[in-house]
Amino acid sequence: MDYMERFLLENNITLDDDERPEHVGSPTGSMPDLTALQLGSEGDSQVTSVPELNPPELESANAGTRPIEMDSEMPSGSDLSFRKRNLSGAARKRLRRLKAGGMDPAEAYKLVTEQLANARAPSTGQMADMSKGKRPIKRIRSEDESPKDHAKKATRVDDGSGSIILVPDEPSTTQVGPPPETSAMSFKDALTNVRVGIRNKEPMSDAQLGLLYKDILRAILNAPMPKGPEFKIRTEGCTFKPGWLQVIVKNDYSRKWLEQIVGTLKPWPEAELSFINEKDLPKAKIGILHFRTEDVLKTPRDALNLLEKQNDLQTGLWKVLSVKKERDGITTALSIDDASVKALRMLNCRPQLGFHKAYIHIRGDNTLAKAEQVAGASQSGAKIPPPAQHAPKAGPSVQVSGKTAKQQNAKPKPGGRGTHTNTQVVQINLHHARAATAVLEKHFTQKNLHIALIQEPWLANTNTVSGLGSAGLCSDDLIAAYVNVKSGKGRLIVCSAYLDGTKNEPSEELAKVVEYACANNAELLIGCDANAHHTNWGSTDINDRGELLHDFVLTNRLQIVNEGCKPTFVTRSRKEVLDVTLATIHTAKLISNWHVSDEPSMSDHRLIKFALNTSNIRETITFRDVKATDWDLYRRKLQERLQDFPKTIRSPETLDYAVAQATEAITASYEESCPLRTVRDRKVTWWNKKLDVLRGEARRLFNKAKSTDDWDRYRKALTTYNKEIRKAKRLSWRKFCEEITKVPQGARIHKVLSKSPTNQLGLLKKPDGTFTASAEETLNLLASTHFPGSVVAPDIIVQNTPHIRLSRPLNEDWRRAAKYFRPNNVEWAIDSFKPIKSAGYDDIFPALLQQGKTMLIPILIKIFRASFAWGYIPEKWTMVKVCFIPKAGKKDYSQPKSFRPISLTSFLFKSMEKVIDECIRDGPLRDNPLHPKQHAYQKGKSTETALLELTDRIERALEDKQIALCAFLDIEGAFDNVTIDALSKGMKAKGIDETTTRWIEFMLLNRTISVTLHGTTQSFKTTKGCPQGGVLSPLLWLLVVDQLLVEASKNDLDVHSYADDVVACVVGPCQSTVSSILQRSLNTINTWCTENHLSVNPSKTTIVPFTRKRKLDKLVMLTVKGTVVPFSSDVKYLGVTIDQRLTWNTHINNVIQKAKIALGICCRLAGTKWGLNPRIALWLYTAIVRPIITYACVVWWRKTTQVTVISKLDGLQRLACLISTGAMSTTPGAALNALLNLPPLHLFIAKEAKASIYRTNSTGDDCNMPP
């Protein structure tokens, strides 16, 4: 049987005798072209010629001939006896690949033709067109056909009637009929060639790969003889890849055999080989490197060797794929292993090559950073890749992070751990432009920027200094600051510098910053307007300043981060790169995506943006809105959690447990009843769509002007854009002010606007004149200043340490506790706090106690009584959170004493303090009151009573033509330095019981304060002092200073006090006698301070001789602690300026000026045609501005009877009326007063003075606490 007959028999094809071919085979074995089968008009197939067929045995010998391409399965029957058709190119390619993979040719041919069987039938119209010889039109997809199925190719077959139909390649899932007899194997399954790999623990060199190759061959030779052909070890090829070996196996047996023997191979003693499946094979990247040929760099391998020695790269594993010599160097294509690609990306694809940085373009990296580096060829060796590489085009629309805008702005879920983000930095010279500042503000709000390096900022004409306080290294042209980022090596100093173009050498300030960073092992990032030219940072030329700055950079081992030569300074007449970004070596490696933005900056300098790859964790800021609390749910949850509360508290251990359980119940109930919310990103309220259009137009004209020099249109568009920004901000602010309709809103806005620029806590000046270098050092300096004698605590977390041995309470202690802590007392104490106050470490604020007091009061009574009787403070209450706030009016905020420590304790503890404070005032102090010349922290007394008593004494002296010599002293660190012994002595002198004294002593000796600054927390154990912010602290200080007043009275000395402000006053006709007596008073005060470990600050001591005499030659100079204190003509005491003759001119001028500043804030909230509601504006004047004038008017109100003072006061009130009503400036003041129902200001001051006298004469003995 010949091959043709065998083929027809195997494929179930029957031919009539007259249809058999005359010539069946070819003796020569050649293969002529196939002749098409002609189909008869009536459907009978007639074979006009039959191809010469080759048997399968001869196919391998027919090199270069075309394989057999015939339909392997045809319908049986007389309607279609035999038909031949040409296979498509794709089908022929499949057939060749199947046979090359080892598949039997007949089976391969059958598989290919089966995949071409049965395609979709065309419509009736299409079949009619095809029967007429027309080209079939595009098939229409049906409803139940997917686009993917519709796109598949179809096979043309005859339907038995002579018409051609199209049947889908794959049967539809809805096909009716029996399944095919033979299940066809998919094309991918038929390909048995599999790529696998072998790698070592360390990447292999070429020599090691050769040894491994030989070992595999030896293993094949030594392998046992397989039992059948399917168990033969068959390999297609072996390839040396960068660091690993790739092997192509032809069957599954070969793959399994190779996987088994890999672990047994030892080509060299240290080899640790492993097998890699196809899906896990390393994927090498193609990198393009351009370098300049030099004497030592002649070949790509020379460049690779230099790269390996200067960088952490294993270039020995790289393969050189192609080399192209160019005029200025060599461009080579490299195969780079995966590990090296990661290392290159850490270097921003800019490794060091010689004395410059090369750029290696990794194919497939389409981020803006890579695009900028490719598009802007640098002098340091960067080269534009050939056009065939299709370098991505840079532009502002490209996502910097490779994510969509939605992904970039996405926030972590509430309560999550946050997302990893890079620190985004922008650098620009604002050219003192207001519009440029507004554009930068918008970028900060919407672009998630973190750091701005600004030169020549816009300054508002407010006659105030705004910004962060400088610390030693800062000046007008340079600002440096520590930044808390995880840079991986040391701390980071960011610096913004402006280098004066009139000076050749770099500024001394910049040199000091670099020297400081080097000495303190800190990383450095500098953004500067260099005003210097050098090609190494992209300038068109090199000038003398550029040479000097470049030498400075090289000398200090700094790196130039600039990439490309895109101008950073663009005007009509010139374009140049003047802005330079410098960094230390490690920080330069962390910088990516450095580019000059095309967005309009409204300045002659462009925006420079880059990312600092610090892998910071962007923490999710969450909060709970108290107003959204479900208080009913809170009370239910609280009641459930307090059911298991201990019935009795008999030991300090039980007390600690009870406090912990109560705290947990309160906080957990609050968390369940108040939803957690996430802080949203800020929005630019004044930005609108019109600004978007104008910005796009300005950007388009700017890009066009760079090529056409049509700068007039760009300048005109920029001016329009600038005007629209100012207009939008102005309208947005007016709209905001007009929407304020409630008094609390207006009060908050005025409070915010009236605050002076915030003086944040940072680096402080130490006593030796140097500055602190870290947050830890700053916290230690603050602790040693404000908490002398404190020691560093290891941790603020409550430790399981043994309790302090305490004596068991006596019955008397329990009786006092029951007397002090009664339900009505505790309820009064809880209700005395404002609902929303800053919480302590337990996060409990007063509203939580007030809303749940029905359940909490019985429990708190048990806790308070046990704590008081035992003289023990629960450990949770000993933890104190301290916040440092700047003192108002300080000129230098680099001093530690310019900040005041405020202690935040638990409100559970404060409630207990409140009860004890009131019990002491109503008990011992009622029988043994404080000295009458103490005016602080007592009912019925205030600063007005202190001023009234002092000025009355001075006025009497002036009327009697005597001299009143007064010394105003300040006890330094009074609350912080008072000792426990002084407190105990003061409490004993006033007859306070031993139980209360023991409890207070324990409280003061067992405090752990915790201070946090820029993410750094330090804890300290205190040994003395009263916490500022504590409820009992004012009373405790009064008990201490009361001893001074008593001692002064015993010595016939006139000493007044308001807290720690002490005034010693002596009145008499003789100047020398008055001086002598006052010196004795100063000595007495100084001695008392020394005995109680306190001190008087001579620099803050002021001595004023109040007299109308002109000659004071007999006054003797006085000393404080050996320091001579000169005489002064006036003094500011308790907010009132008291001059030598009591004229009050200085004070009145000061308060009027201060009131006008407050009115100026109101002017920002209202105009003649827009702004606040008149009712709100009038309230701001009467509630905020007018009290500034009337403060302490009881001592100076007589001055308002003078015509000049009345005129000044009327002018102030007239201005307030104009702001409130928006009336014309010519409107009479009396008419405005009548319209707004305001009395003249001088009459109102007289009224307030009389009311103050009435309050002063009242007893003030009424007690707010119920009996």
pLDDT in the model for residue 658: 92
pLDDT in the model for residue 172: 37
Q: Provide the b/e sequence for 200-236 (b: ≥16 CB within 10 Å).
A: beebbeeebbebbeebbeebeeeeeeeeeeeeeebbb
What is the rounded distance in angstroms from the CA atom of residue 1225 to the CA atom of residue 1208? Answer: 17
1044: its two tokens: 């001074």
The highest-confidence range among 97-111, 350-364, 397-411, 567-581, by mean pLDDT, is 567-581
The answer on 1080 and 971 residing in a single domain is yes
Q: What is the distance of C-alpha 13 from the center of its chain? A: 78
The highest-confidence range among 277-281, 987-991, 1111-1115, 1179-1183, by mean pLDDT, is 987-991
pLDDT in tens, 751-767: 555 555 545 677 788 88
Last residue within a domain, chosen from 280, 309, 332: 280
The answer on 850 and 725 residing in a single domain is no
The highest-confidence range among 738-742, 891-895, 911-915, by mean pLDDT, is 911-915
The answer on 717 and 573 residing in a single domain is no
Which residues span the domain enclosing 1185? 1145-1257
pLDDT above 90 (res 824): yes
The fraction of the chain above a pLDDT of 90, given in percent, is 23
| Average pLDDT rounded to a whole number, residues 788-796 | 70
Q: Determine, yes or no, domain membership for 1122.
A: yes
What is the rounded distance in angstroms from the CA atom of residue 712 to the CA atom of residue 398? Answer: 29
CA-nearest of 900, 955, 947, 944 to 1187 is 944
Residue predicted with more confidence, 931 or 60: 931
CA-nearest of 1184, 1206, 916, 879 to 1022 is 879
The answer on 564 and 434 residing in a single domain is yes
Q: Determine, yes or no, domain membership for 909.
A: yes
The answer on 1247 and 1194 residing in a single domain is yes
Residue predicted with more confidence, 132 or 623: 623
pLDDT above 50 (res 34): no
pLDDT above 50 (res 981): yes
The answer on 576 and 528 residing in a single domain is yes
Residue predicted with more confidence, 311 or 36: 311
pLDDT above 50 (res 625): yes
| Average pLDDT rounded to a whole number, residues 1095-1099 | 87
Q: Determine, yes or no, domain membership for 213.
A: yes
The answer on 327 and 257 residing in a single domain is no
The answer on 827 and 697 residing in a single domain is no
Residue predicted with more confidence, 994 or 746: 994
| Average pLDDT rounded to a whole number, residues 678-683 | 71
Band of pLDDT at residue 328, cut at 50, 70 and 90: low
Q: In total, how many domains does the chain have? A: 8
1165: its two tokens: 């909230």
Q: Determine, yes or no, domain membership for 925.
A: no
The highest-confidence range among 87-96, 204-213, 1244-1253, by mean pLDDT, is 1244-1253
Last residue within a domain, chosen from 1102, 1137, 1172: 1137
Which pTM was predicted? 0.59
The answer on 536 and 417 residing in a single domain is yes
The answer on 710 and 664 residing in a single domain is no
Listed in sequence order, the residues at least 6 apart from 292 whose beta carbon sits closer than 8 Å to its beta carbon are 328, 329, 381
| Average pLDDT rounded to a whole number, residues 1254-1260 | 70
What is the rounded distance in angstroms from the CA atom of residue 1199 to the CA atom of residue 572? Answer: 63
pLDDT in the model for residue 750: 58
The answer on 589 and 443 residing in a single domain is yes
Q: What is the distance of C-alpha 152 from the center of its chain? A: 52
Cβ-count burial of 390 within 10 angstroms (0-12 exposed, 13-18 middle, 19+ buried)? exposed
pLDDT in tens, 702-736: 888 877 778 888 888 888 888 888 888 888 877 77
pLDDT in the model for residue 734: 74
Q: Provide the b/e sequence for 562-589 (b: ≥16 CB within 10 Å).
A: bbbbbbbbbeeeeebbbbbbbbbeebbb
What is the rounded distance in angstroms from the CA atom of residue 429 to the CA atom of residue 498? Answer: 9
Q: Determine, yes or no, domain membership for 393.
A: no
pLDDT in the model for residue 1260: 47
Is 1123 in contact with 1159 (CB distance < 8 Å)? no
The highest-confidence range among 434-438, 715-719, 951-955, by mean pLDDT, is 951-955
410: its two tokens: 């996405």
pLDDT above 50 (res 1186): yes
pLDDT in the model for residue 256: 83
The highest-confidence range among 167-181, 567-581, 1246-1260, by mean pLDDT, is 567-581
> The domain spanning residue 363 has which CATH number?
3.30.70
356: its two tokens: 């410059």
| Average pLDDT rounded to a whole number, residues 403-428 | 51
Is 1135 in contact with 1191 (CB distance < 8 Å)? yes
Tally the C-alpha atoms within 13 A of residue 955's C-alpha that lie toward its C-beta. 11
Q: Determine, yes or no, domain membership for 910.
A: yes
Q: Determine, yes or no, domain membership for 391.
A: no
| Average pLDDT rounded to a whole number, residues 443-464 | 72
pLDDT in the model for residue 149: 56
Band of pLDDT at residue 740, cut at 50, 70 and 90: low
Is 411 in contact with 621 (CB distance < 8 Å)? no
pLDDT above 80 (res 282): no
352-353 vs 319-326, strand pairing mode: unpaired
- Going from the C-alpha of 888 to that of each of 270, 652, 671, 983, 1076, the distances in angstroms are 72, 43, 37, 29, 36
pLDDT above 70 (res 190): no
Q: Determine, yes or no, domain membership for 711.
A: yes
pLDDT above 70 (res 943): yes
Band of pLDDT at residue 163, cut at 50, 70 and 90: very low
| Average pLDDT rounded to a whole number, residues 241-263 | 82
The answer on 1087 and 1162 residing in a single domain is no
Band of pLDDT at residue 1255, cut at 50, 70 and 90: confident
The highest-confidence range among 321-330, 441-450, 873-882, by mean pLDDT, is 873-882
Phi, psi at residue 1048, to the nearest 5°? -65, -40
Residue predicted with more confidence, 890 or 870: 870
pLDDT in the model for residue 1206: 93
Average pLDDT, the chain: 76
The fraction of the chain above a pLDDT of 70, given in percent, is 74
Phi, psi at residue 411, to the nearest 5°? -105, 150
Q: What share of the chain is helix, strand, coil (3-state, %, to 5)?
A: 40, 15, 40
Q: Provide the b/e sequence for 719-753 (b: ≥16 CB within 10 Å).
A: eebbebbeebbeeebbeebeebeeeeebeebbeee
pLDDT above 90 (res 430): no
